[in-house]
Amino acid sequence: MKRFLPYAFLIAGLLTLTGALLLWQHTELPVGLSAEDVPKRMAGVPLAQVVTGNEAIVSINQLHGKDFPLADGAVAVYGSQQAVLWVSVSGSARDAEALLAQMTDGIAAGRSPFTSTGVHDADGRAVYGLTGLGQRHFYFQSGRLVVWLSADEEIAEQALEEALKFYP
Predicted local distance difference test score (pLDDT) of residue 133 = 96
Residue 4 lies in a domain: no
DSSP 37: G
Measuring CA to CA, how many Å separate 90 from each of 99, 114, 144? 8, 23, 5
Asked if 81 and 135 count as a contact pair (C-beta separation under 8 A), the reply is no
Q: Which CATH number belongs to the domain containing residue 82 in this structure? A: 3.40.1000
Q: Report the chain (168 residues): mean pLDDT per 10 consecutive residues.
A: 47 38 38 88 98 94 82 97 97 96 91 92 96 97 97 98 97
Would you call 21 exposed, middle or buried from its count of C-beta atoms within 10 A (0-12, 13-18, 19+)? exposed
- Which domain covers residue 66, as residue numbers? 30-166
The number of folded domains in the chain is 1
DSSP 35: G
131: nearest Cα among 123, 139, 121, 142: 139
Would you call 87 exposed, middle or buried from its count of C-beta atoms within 10 A (0-12, 13-18, 19+)? buried
Dihedrals φ, ψ of 94, to 5°? -65, -40
Residue 7 lies in a domain: no
Residue 80 lies in a domain: yes
Residue 114 lies in a domain: yes
Predicted local distance difference test score (pLDDT) of residue 64 = 73
Predicted local distance difference test score (pLDDT) of residue 11 = 43
